[in-house]
Amino acid sequence: MADNLSLEVVSPQGIIFGGNVDQVTLPTSNGAITVLPHHAALFTKLIEGEIEVVEQGKRTSYVIAGGFFEMNNNKASVLSDYAIRAESIEMAKSEEKKRQAEQKLREKLTNEEFTIADKDLKMSILELKVAQKVRRRQH
Amino acid sequence: MAQNLQILLRRKKTAQNIAQIARAMEMISASKIKKAQSEVVANKPYADRITKLTSSIIRHIDTDQFNHPYIFGNEAEEALVLIISPDKGLCGSLNTNLFKRIFEIDNKNLKLIAMGRKASQFSRRLSGELIAEFNIGTTLPPYGTVYQLIEVINNEYIGGHVSSFKILYTEFTSMFTQAPVLKSILPIEMPNLPTAVSLRSQPGSLPLAGTGGQSAPLPYIFEPKIQDLLSELLPYYLEVILYNSLIEAYTSEQAARMVAMQNAKNNALDIADYLTLIYNKSRQERITNELLTLSSRV
């Protein structure tokens, strides 16, 4: 217990991850940071990217679409719009999402629609990248 | 007597028809509620955390150093209330209870936003000014609805026309209990803790683990600047709260309708049973009477 920090990854789809971890690497707006147990109280903004969790020496990855990170009293929480475990990313689904977003971007769009499509595209590319990386690690 | 039987038969059929319609509506709601309920259950921890985080961050900062409008109210006299109701009735006492709630507060200086057709109908009868109305629809409200609401709210609130913003909606606790709640959203309430720790905390000093527990706030490190963070966090907080209220209101509607329709169906079936009994009895009576007349003639 002494060398752990408790981490929660929460998104509107529910609690994606919860447990004691050795360390966690997060994509912040100032670059990636790694948080170790007993880190000072910290509050920061996350950008879309990959979260890497080390739990008992095992690495797992999550993809998030931006959000906030808070650490206090050795309790860390990641709050994000969207979060998915790298293993549960379905390549085909992400490909489809990417294709759709690209097609949408080609059409004439209002500002709001453009932002949504752009974000979708970024997310799907990111998902694909992380999924590939995880797969490579396993083989 | 003969006519009486005809009428009885007709009434019996009416009751059975109503039972059938009620059953269909119950089943529609039952199928909708499954999805809605899981959405609410999944979204709740997220909304709770965001609320908790926001209030704990606000507690930790020196609020004199910036004046984000979401933290400080303004001098306007009027208050803005968003009422979230169903578009349709036939959901038990949900609407009545919801609207009763507004009379409990002072409804003089109010500006209203109505979400749901029932809310706009009701708001027109109030003395307050109805500034916007939306329909909630019959499916789970999409996230995009929130942005339309925020636009109106920001116009009023940041524009300084209203001093506070509240949401009136029906909170979903379980299938059988839904209670109307009036939540104050803006300005974000300060937790009553005296110490606002300066935001220029020393990044080098490690907090001593285990000192004081939750109640003694440790100085936070903010990265990037707290001003930038807050201007991201606070609008986001509003978004999350609004979305959560929307889906809770929607789920409550479906739950209330399902229970109401279940009761309606049972009552209609009871009446149909009762009418069947009466009908059979009077038919038997008529036959007996006819037999009596026949036998007395012989």
Rounded Cα–Cα distance for residues B269 and B262 (Å): 11
What confidence score (pLDDT) does residue B205 get? 40
User: How many domains in chain A?
Assistant: 2
What confidence score (pLDDT) does residue B212 get? 39
What confidence score (pLDDT) does residue B207 get? 42
* Token output for B187: 């300005």
CATH, residue A50: 2.60.15.10
What confidence score (pLDDT) does residue B201 get? 39
pLDDT tens digits for range B37-58: 999 999 999 999 998 888 888 8
Report whether pLDDT(B266) > 80. yes
What confidence score (pLDDT) does residue B66 get? 67
Closest to B223 (Cβ–Cβ): which among A15, A28, A79?
A: A28
Report whether pLDDT(A118) > 50. yes
- Same-domain check for residues A12 and A79: yes
Interface of B with A in 210-229 (CB under 8 A): 213-214, 218-224, 228-229
Distance of residue A123 Cα from the nearest chain B Cα, in angstroms: 18
What confidence category does residue B263 fall into, taking pLDDT thresholds of 50, 70 and 90?
Answer: very high
Between B9 and B190, whose confidence is greater? B9
pLDDT tens digits for range B90-113: 888 898 998 888 888 766 778 889
Distance of residue B248 Cα from the nearest chain A Cα, in angstroms: 13
- Same-domain check for residues A130 and A69: no
What confidence score (pLDDT) does residue B195 get? 43
- Same-domain check for residues A66 and A15: yes
Whether A19 contacts A55, CB under 8 Å: yes
Report whether pLDDT(B78) > 50. yes
What confidence score (pLDDT) does residue B214 get? 43
Q: Quick one: DSSP state of residue A70?
A: E
pLDDT tens digits for range B287-297: 999 999 999 88
A-chain CB neighbours of B229 within 8 Å are 43-45
Report whether pLDDT(A116) > 90. no
CB of B49 within 8 Å of a chain A CB? The answer is: yes
E-only strand ranges, chain A? 5-11, 14-21, 23-28, 31-35, 42-55, 58-72, 75-80, 83-85
Domains of chain B: 2-23+259-297 (1.10.287.80), 38-193+218-257 (3.40.1380.10)
Tell if the CB–CB gap between B221 and A30 is shorter than 8 Å.
Answer: no
E-only strand ranges, B37-139? 79-84, 110-115, 129-134
pLDDT tens digits for range B200-246: 334 444 444 343 344 445 678 887 788 888 888 888 899 899 999 99
What confidence category does residue B142 fall into, taking pLDDT thresholds of 50, 70 and 90?
Answer: confident
B-chain CB neighbours of A12 within 8 Å are 42-43, 46, 240, 243
pLDDT tens digits for range A30-54: 889 999 998 888 899 998 888 999 9
Instruction: Kindly report which listed range (A73-77, A81-85, B173-177, B191-195) carries the lowest average pLDDT score.
Output: B191-195
Distance of residue A130 Cα from the nearest chain B Cα, in angstroms: 24
Kindly compute the dihedral angle of the four CA atoms of residues A11, B174, B191, B234, in this order, to the nearest 10 degrees.
Answer: 40
What confidence category does residue A79 fall into, taking pLDDT thresholds of 50, 70 and 90?
Answer: very high
Q: What is the ipTM of this complex?
A: 0.80
Report whether pLDDT(B280) > 90. yes
What confidence score (pLDDT) does residue A131 get? 81
- Same-domain check for residues A33 and A18: yes
What confidence score (pLDDT) does residue B10 get? 92
pLDDT tens digits for range B148-201: 899 899 888 888 888 889 999 999 988 888 999 998 888 887 665 444 443 333
Last residue of a domain, which of A42, A57, A86?
A: A86
Please list, residue by residue across B69-101, b when 16 or more beta carbons sit within 10 angstroms of its beta carbon and e when fewer do: ebbebeebebbbbbbbbbbeebbbebbeebbeb
- Same-domain check for residues A75 and A99: no
- Same-domain check for residues A126 and A65: no
- Same-domain check for residues A23 and A67: yes
What confidence score (pLDDT) does residue B65 get? 65
Rounded Cα–Cα distance for residues B114 and B143 (Å): 17
What confidence score (pLDDT) does residue B213 get? 40
- Same-domain check for residues A46 and A68: yes
- Same-domain check for residues A50 and A114: no
* Type of residue at A59: R
- Same-domain check for residues A60 and A106: no
B-chain CB neighbours of A30 within 8 Å are 223-224
Domain residue limits at A94: 90-138
- Same-domain check for residues A11 and A31: yes
What confidence category does residue B2 fall into, taking pLDDT thresholds of 50, 70 and 90?
Answer: low
CATH, residue A100: 1.20.5
Q: What percent of chain A is predicted at pLDDT more than 90?
A: 22
What confidence score (pLDDT) does residue B64 get? 63
Nearest to A79 by CA among B168, B276, B54, B259: B54
Tell if the CB–CB gap between B223 and A30 is shorter than 8 Å.
Answer: yes
Q: Quick one: DSSP state of residue B162?
A: -
Q: In whole angstroms, how far apart are CA A15 and each of A74, B33, B39, B49, B120? A: 19, 21, 12, 11, 36
What confidence score (pLDDT) does residue A27 get? 92
Tell if the CB–CB gap between A44 and B49 is shorter than 8 Å.
Answer: no
- Same-domain check for residues A131 and A106: yes
Closest to A41 (Cβ–Cβ): which among B218, B232, B233?
A: B218
What confidence score (pLDDT) does residue B264 get? 94
